[in-house]
């Protein structure tokens, strides 16, 4: 049995797109960051780079988007962002404490003034009674202000991930407008 792989980059390609409402939020975010002379950086787990994709979907994002990490494994969270083994053992990867330590690591590594981190359970498996599928923790830093927020989204894996991306960007805009 043989498998054929196409080298044609357009074969079976589904274009990645951003809905117009989210694109508008990213544009507002970018304009506000540009006006302040700030940058944003992110670290993502369950969203797998979706927030970074949203940022880079807007022309001119290189003016305000610094960098991003997809730290899907606990080892990546520890080795790249400095999340402690103790935090991961005591609270788990999907926790307030973990996204806070992720955010501190992003700021330390990037120097960005605006930071978002995300770690969650997109499903379909992996949930528990304490942390059901759809549980997502977010860490935010905006200047000297910080927040960690838990959301529980409904839907399938793709829907949970999309909700998380939208929530993260919407909350970044809100934080930036308040600070």
pLDDT at 67: 97
| Residues 6-43: tens digit of each pLDDT | 455 555 555 556 788 999 999 999 999 999 999 999 99
Whole-model pTM? 0.90
Query: Residue 71 corresponds to which tokens in the numbers above?
Result: 């730290």
Judged on CB neighbours under 10 Å (0-12, 13-18, 19+), 137 is buried
Nearest to 96 by CA among 106, 105, 87, 108: 87
Please tell me the least confidently modeled range out of 11-15, 77-81, 114-118, 165-169.
Answer: 11-15
φ and ψ at residue 104, rounded to 5 degrees? -60, -40
Q: Is residue 138 a contact partner of residue 174, using CB atoms and an 8 Å limit?
A: no
- What is the edge-to-edge ordering of all strands in the sheet holding 135-142? 65-70, 40-44, 114-120, 135-142, 145-152
Judged against a pLDDT cut of 70, whether residue 3 lies above it is answered with no
- Going by pLDDT thresholds of 50, 70 and 90, the confidence category of residue 5 is very low
CA-CA distance, 143 to 28, in Å (whole number)?
Answer: 18
**For residue 129, what is the DSSP state?**
S
Residue 147: its pLDDT value, please? 98
């Amino acid at each position: 049995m043989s498998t054929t792989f196409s080298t044609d980059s357009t074969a079976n390609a589904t274009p990645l797109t951003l809905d117009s409402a989210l694109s508008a939020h990213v544009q507002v975010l970018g304009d506000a960051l540009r006006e302040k002379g700030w940058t944003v950086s992110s670290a993502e787990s369950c969203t797998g780079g979706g927030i970074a994709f949203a940022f880079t979907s807007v022309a001119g994002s290189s003016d305000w988007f610094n960098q991003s990490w997809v730290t899907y494994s606990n080892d990546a969270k520890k080795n790249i962002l400095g999340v402690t083994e103790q935090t991961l053992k005591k609270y788990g990867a999907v926790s307030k404490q973990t996204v806070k330590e992720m955010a501190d690591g992003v700021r330390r590594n990037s120097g960005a003034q605006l930071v978002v981190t995300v770690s969650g359970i997109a499903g379909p498996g992996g949930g528990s009674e304490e942390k059901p599928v759809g549980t997502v923790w977010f860490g935010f830093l905006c200047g000297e202000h910080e927040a960690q927020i838990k959301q529980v989204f409904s839907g399938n894996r793709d829907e949970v991930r999309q909700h998380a991306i939208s929530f993260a960007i919407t909350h970044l805009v809100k934080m930036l407008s308040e600070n």
